Each structure stands twice: as C-alpha cells, then as structure tokens.
A and B are shown apart, each in its own frame.
Chain A
Amino acid sequence: MAKRIEASNVSSYYGAFKAIDSVSMTVEPKTITALIGPSGCGKSTFLRSINRMHEVLPNARIEGSLTIDDQNIYDPDVDVTAVRRMIGMVFQRPNPFPTMSIYENAVAGLKLNGVKKKSLLDEAAEKSLRSANLWDEVKDRLDRPGAGLSGGQQQRLCIARTIAVEPQVVLMDEPCSALDPISTLAIEDLMFKLKDRFTIIIVTHNMQQAARVSDKTGFFSIDKTGDPGRLIEYDDTQKIFSNPTQKKTEDYITGRFG
C-alpha cells in the first residue's frame, strides 16, 4: 500500500522565480516525514511538487526528478490524475466541498474514479470516516453539509476524503495549523494509525509536533528573501532534534533563528 518517494535535485519555479533549489531526499514507505523551516522557504512548494499540484499554477514548473517506487512521476507519458490519486493531499485550510454533504465529501474521490455502487460507497464512507476518527461524531448527520462542521472536524473530513481513495502516499500541508490542541492531538493519533498503511509527509511549524510524530525530519531554509529555499539537513528526527550536524538547524530548532 505504501510506496517510496525519491526526489533528486528538484528545483521548482514560479515563472522566473526559483522557489526551491536542488532538493534531494528519499522517503521510505510507511514512515512519517516532517518538513520544517521558516515561512517562505519552499516547504509547500516542495510538497506540491511531489503530487504535481505545483504545475496547476500558471507558469509553474520543476526541474530534477521525482520517482515513486522508481517510476518517474514527471514522465510525459504518465497520467497526472493517476499520480494525484496515488499521492493524496491534505491542505492547510480545511476545504470540504461546500455544496456537498459529509457523506458526499467523504466519497467524492471515489465518485470521481467512477465508483457508483451504493454499497461500495457506503462502506468506503464509513471506513474512511472511522479511520479519520470522525465517524462517531457525524454518523447521525451524514447528509448535513460538510462545511457545517467545526474546523477540526472539517479537517478530519478532508483527511477522510483523501484516504478514502486509498492512496499510497499522503501529503499534509500544515494540517493542524488552524486547529485547537485537542483536534491537533486527534490528528496526530490519526497519523500514527495511518502510518501502517500510508507513507506520510507532513509540513509543520510546530516543532513539538514534528518531534512527536515523525520518523525523519527535513529542515528547509533560505539565506535571504528572494533566494531559493534549500534542504539544509535531512535525518532521523531523533538526530535532528538532539544533535543536528548543521549550525542552522540547531539555531532554528532552539529558536535562535535569524
């Protein structure tokens, strides 16, 4: 179910602006990888490059190579929708479809993939909502609007929507930044649970969260505004937080950044 992601020398551009420069990292299956770093250093850009959401923006392009289990994600012959199905994404702000009910949101991805049978959809909805720790809270109001839930519930609904299609890899861009500590813990628990089935890459500004949930941590940084972001250090989370090799990393995690 889970696959290895390998990035080598990935540089991403917005038009003429180079947002990240030559990022290389390998993410093992069934692990959680945290990406940390100051604002604007290209974490989101890198994450969006992995599932080819980067190229949705006008004039955005990447250089370098990204593979999933040795298949080139950016191969011109590859179907980009298949890549995105394989590599799901949870966004920073909860974004359930406003016109859809909770149930419809949960199965939106399946419907997009042509699943029509009611029994299959029902089953998938329950399974994904349970996996997202949301089932008990919403099982009596599945036909209510998804946007009527609390922020934390909406975010878990979005996670349910993402994992309902059973992707290989789940990318999360600051999934907890709009949430209270309890919802945050709920989502962290959820990540541990999902780790058995998916490869997870999460961007976070919360150092404790990175330390708590991740197996590996990548630290991104920029020298000054306008420069591209670089991957400064990538190692076991333990190592990064106890004994980083780079001075910059140490400064950042001890709060002496800048």
Chain B
Amino acid sequence: MGDYPSRSVNATAGDLGVTPRHAQGAGYGSSPSNHDEPPLGGGGALPKKARFSIEAGFRGLSTASGAMVLVIIVAIAVFLISKAVPALQANTGDFFTQFEWAPNEANPSFGIAALAFGTVLSSVIALIVAVPIALGIALFLSHYAPKRLATPLGFVIDLLAAVPSVVFGLWGRDVFQEPVRDFSIWLNKYFSWIPLFGGDGPFGQSIMLGGLVLAIMVLPIVTSLSREVFQQTPGMNEEAALALGATRWEMIRTAVLPYGKPGVIAAVMLGLGRALGETIALALTLSVAFDISFNLIENGGNSVAANIANSFAEANDTGRGALIASGLVLFAITLVVNMTARAIIYRRREFRDSAA
C-alpha cells in the first residue's frame, strides 16, 4: 500500500475523515457508478463500521433461529417428562426389569427391558447384514464400476432410499416372510444347537425377519453416503498409493478407506438411527412378545417404536404416559449411539483437520 496517501487525494470523501457508507470498498452494492468515487478497493480514510447493516440483521436472525431450536427442544422435553412421570409413579412393576406391558390395567405394570432389547437386537442385525453389503456396493460404485454403470446404479440406490417404510413393512409381511420362514426352518433343522437358531417354532414373524427388512431399509442410506465419501478421496492420494505399487484394492485400503472412515461411521450411525426409530416396518413384521430372547427365528420380538404404534390407539392416560416414557428411553439410546459415534469420529480429528 505504498501509494495509499496519493490515492486518497483523489478520493472524494478523503478529507471528511469519515467516508460515507456508499464509498466503502467491500460493502455490497457499492460499485462505483461514476469515476469520482474511489475504486472498489477503497481510497481515502478508512470508513467507519456501519452501526446497522444486513450483516447485523443476519446475525440476529440466525441467533434467534438457533435459540428457537433450543426453546422448542426444551418445551418438548418438559411436556414429555410431565406426561411420563405420573405413569411411572403409577407403575406397580419395575420399569427396567418387568417383562410385560400392561399399563392400561387398574394396577398398571410395564417394563421397558424387552422393548429396548428388541429395538437394539433388530437394529444390530440390520447393521451386521447391511453395512458390509453397503460398503461393498459403495466401493464398487466409486472405484470399480465404469461411469456409465455407476451413475444409473447410484440413482436406483437413491430411489430405494425414498421408498416409504410402510411399503417395506407390507412387503416384509406379505412377501419376504415366506423365504425367511423357509430359511429359518432350514437353520433350525441343522443349527438348532446354536441358541440363536433353536426353538420349536412357529417361525417366520421373527426378529430375523424384522432385522432383515430393516437391513434393506438402511442399505441405501449407508450406501449412498459412503459412496459420496469414497468419491471425495483426493485423487493425488490415490495416485500416491498406486505409484508405490499398490493394486487397486491395496490403494483402496491405503488411501480410500482410512480417509473415508469418519464419513462411513457417520453413515452407519445415520442408518442405525433409522433402524432404531423405525416403527411401522417392525410393527408389521414382528409378532408381539414381551421377553428377552436371543432366538432370532422364532415368532416374537418387539421394539419400542413398534410397541408405541401398536398400543397407542387403545391406551388410556397411564398407558400413554408409559408409551411416552418408552419413547424417552428410545431417545436416550439414540443419543448414546450418536455420542459414541462422534467420539469415534473426533478421536483422530487432528489427522483430518491438518489434511484439509
């Protein structure tokens, strides 16, 4: 800025000490309309900061929106807790250990354990099945398939993500149940010595069916996010690996997977979030039971969300409170899952930040 003083001589407002707002260099809409004004880069004395500006307006607006989110969340929480507490007080059983859901009786008795267990078990099955397949598809689309194939295939996967869950639920109950039952009977015949596949039936409307339907539902989310993450791997890192003599798969292991790991974890957590909260698909495929059983193939199973959907209509006041309490537990589970995921993502954050 060696020529700064001489330039300010030419500036119209230079001698006022304070440049009017319209002459401020970087301000919006301040392009010089006649040549008497200083250039965009500014001239003359440094202008004062505007007291009221669009900038300040936006800041206020965004702060208000942020605050509103908090207010809404707190309001919802207060409402839910105020409904749940009376029901919990009326509970004659133990909320955490009772294997029963009878909150509408004169002596209400209900427990969350079986529901929470069913929720977690069905979601875990879904992830165990879906994640490896999803990552395989994502890698295929991002690094193996020719572009002509990858683009339409990716589109189909995204379409799958848009199918409403009730469709999956009905399909699971009316179509998919048959093969799952046959498979369950086969498993039971040859592997009944594994407790997971034991029991004497009936089979079919089991936690396995629910879990598999969930798996199909989370597959597209995990696939499409992971694919995006894998595609973002810097090309120069892929080339670096190849130039060291890596095969394509070694290149993926060296450059793509480590780079995409936090993103993949996030994708899996989103999938898990969908599985945990999934309501109608499980309500349609499970046959209600209130116990904790690791048997995957016998009829039975339940989940927090499915139970809410099934029982809300005929619930009385206490019943609703009890269901709301179960909803809060589901919320707590999701929260724990999310925080764990974040902890994993942030642990090696330093390595990613410096990479940016």
Binding-face segment, A13-21, A61-69, A157-165, A240-248: A157-165
Question: When the two chains form their complex, are residues B351 and A145 in contact, meaning their CB atoms are under 8 A apart?
Answer: yes
Is B261 among interface residues, defined by CB-CB distance under 8 A? yes
A-B CB proximity, top 10 nearest: A98-B355, A85-B245, A99-B258, A109-B244, A95-B236, A89-B243, A148-B354, A84-B245, A81-B245, A147-B354
The total of interchain contacts (Cβ-Cβ below 8 angstroms) comes to 83
Say what secondary structure dominates the interface of chain A.
mixed
A177 to B259, CA, bound (A): 26
Residue B237 at the chain A interface, CB threshold 8 Å:
yes
A91 to B237, CA, bound (A): 10
Min CB distance B344 to A, Å, is 14
Inter-subunit contact B239/A99 (CB<8 Å): no
CB atoms of B245 and A97 under 8 A apart? no
Q: Which residues of A contact B247 (CB under 8 A)?
A: 81
Partner of B240, one of A83, A85, A95, A147: A95
Interface string of B241-270 (1 = CB under 8 A from A): 111111100100011001101000000000
How near does chain B come to A108, taking the closest CB pair, in angstroms? 6
Asked, given contacts A99-B348, A147-B354, whether A84 binds B243 with beta carbons under 8 Å apart, the answer is: yes
Q: Is the CB of A51 closer than 8 A to any CB of chain B?
A: yes
8 additional A-B residue pairs with CB within 8 Å, beyond A91-B243, A112-B244: A81-B247, A85-B244, A98-B352, A101-B351, A108-B241, A108-B254, A109-B244, A112-B250
Q: How far is the CA of A104 from the CA of B161 in the complex (A)?
A: 38
Q: What separation, in Å, do the CA atoms of A158 and B241 have in the docked complex?
A: 11
Chain A residues with CB under 8 A of B255 = 97
* Given contacts A99-B259, A100-B258, A81 and B348 within 8 Å (CB-CB): no
Interface centre among B240, B244, B261 (most CB of A within 10 A): B244
Q: A98 CB to closest chain B CB, in angstroms?
A: 3
A residues lining the B interface (CB < 8 Å): 51, 53, 56, 58, 81-85, 88-89, 91, 93, 95-101, 108-109, 112-113, 145, 147-148, 158, 161-162, 165
Q: In this assembly, does B55 line the interface, its C-beta being within 8 Å of a C-beta of chain A?
A: no
B42 to chain A, nearest CB (A): 31
Look across to chain A and name the residue whose beta carbon is closest to the beta carbon of B251: A112
Query: Does B202 reach chain A (CB closer than 8 Å)?
Result: no
Q: Could you tell me if B245 and A165 are in contact, using CB atoms closer than 8 angstroms? A: yes
Q: Bound complex: CA of A101 vs CA of B348, how far in Å?
A: 11
Name B's interface SS. helix
Q: Considering the chains assembled together, what is the distance between the CA atoms of A91 and B244 in angstroms?
A: 12
Q: In the complex where A84-B242, A91-B240 touch, is A98 in contact with B354 (Cβ < 8 A)? A: yes
Distance of A100 Cα from B355 Cα, bound (Å) = 10
Smallest Cβ-Cβ distance to A98: which chain B residue = B355
Asked if B20 is an interface residue, CB under 8 A from chain A, the answer is: no
Tell me which residues across on chain A come within 8 A of B244, comparing CB atoms.
Answer: 84-85, 88, 108-109, 112, 161-162, 165
Interchain Cβ contacts under 8 Å between A and B, 9 examples: A84-B242, A88-B243, A97-B237, A97-B254, A98-B351, A108-B241, A112-B241, A158-B240, A161-B244
Take A98-B237, A99-B348 as given contacts and tell me if A145 and B355 are in contact as well, using a CB distance cutoff of 8 Å.
Answer: yes
Who on chain B is nearest to A94 by CB?
B236
Closest to B238 in A: A56
Quick check: B243 and A112 within 8 Å, CB to CB?
Answer: no
The residue of chain B having its C-beta at the shortest distance from the C-beta of A86 within the complex is B245
Q: Taking A95-B237, A97-B237, A161-B244 as contacts, is the C-beta distance between A112 and B254 under 8 angstroms?
A: yes
Complex contact A56–B239 (CB within 8 A): yes
Contact residue among A56, A93, A147 (Cβ-Cβ distance under 8 Å from B351): A147
| The residue from A81, A147, A158 contacting B355, defined by CB atoms under 8 A apart | A147
Of the candidates A56, A93, A101, A162, which one forms a contact with B242 in the assembled complex, judged by CB atoms under 8 Å apart? A56
For B351, give the chain A residue with the smallest CB separation.
A145
- The complex places the Cα of A91 from the Cα of B352 at a distance, in Å, of 21
B3 at the interface (CB under 8 A from A): no
Q: Is B234 an interface residue (CB 8 A)?
A: yes
Contact with A along B10-46 (1 / 0, CB 8 A): 0000000000000000000000000000000000000
Give the residue among A51, A95, A113, A145 with the most B Cβ atoms within 10 A. A95
Contacts of A56 in B (CB 8 A): 239, 242
Question: In whole angstroms, how far apart are the Cα atoms of A58 and B250 in the complex?
Answer: 19
Distance (whole angstroms) from the CB of B223 to the closest CB of chain A: 22
The CA of A58 and the CA of B354, in the complex, are separated in Å by 30
Q: In the bound complex, how far is the Cα of B240 from the Cα of A95, in angstroms?
A: 7
B240, B243, B261, B350: the one contacting A97 at CB < 8 Å is B240
Is A99 a contact partner of B351 (Cβ separation < 8 A)? Answer: yes
